[in-house]
Amino acid sequence: LAEAAGGCCPGASRNKFAYNEAGQVRIRAGLPIYECNSRCRCGADCPNRVVQKGIRYDLCIFRTGNGRGWGVRTLERIRKNSFVMEYVGEIITSEEAERRGQVYDRQGATYLFDLDYVEDVYTVDAAH
């Protein structure tokens, strides 16, 4: 992979693409990923545009048999470090997540996902 060739701009990642040729993440977990964008001279086929291409796997939403709610699965093999889908929401502190979690528990639903790569400080709340 020619690092900054073809007009790509991975400068924010210190001139390293976050992905290998197969679209798998190759940087250390917890580091931010900077993809090429409208400011680049590269095109839509650039290997540094993985998340923007969206879901590439056939996913199935199903009701769990053990009463824990809904789940997502696929029948195809997903290679390690591959992008599957984004989980989008508001980034809040863990303290705020605790408060909202109590409300969500009373409603019988939760949308919280802890961002605990380094330390347990932030949570994504996908309710909004």
List the structure tokens of 38.
């409208």
Number of domains in the chain: 1
CA angle 74–75–80, rounded 5-degree value: 65
pLDDT in tens, 15-54: 578 888 888 998 887 777 888 888 788 888 888 899 999 9
The per-residue pLDDT for 15 is 58
- Report yes or no on 91 lying in a domain: yes
Average pLDDT value over all residues in the chain: 83
Note whether residue 111 is domain-resident: yes
Higher pLDDT, 11 or 123: 123
Q: Find tokens 């996908």 and name the residue.
A: 126
**Residue 60 is labelled as binding a ligand:** no
**In this structure, is residue 107 part of a structural domain?**
yes
Residue 103 belongs to some domain of the structure? yes
Q: Is residue 65 part of a domain?
A: no
Report yes or no on 45 lying in a domain. Answer: no
Distance CA 12, CA 6 (A): 17
Task: Report pLDDT digits (tens) over 60-88.
Answer: 999 988 887 788 889 899 999 999 988 89
Domain that holds residue 113: 87-127
In this prediction, residue 5 carries a pLDDT of: 47
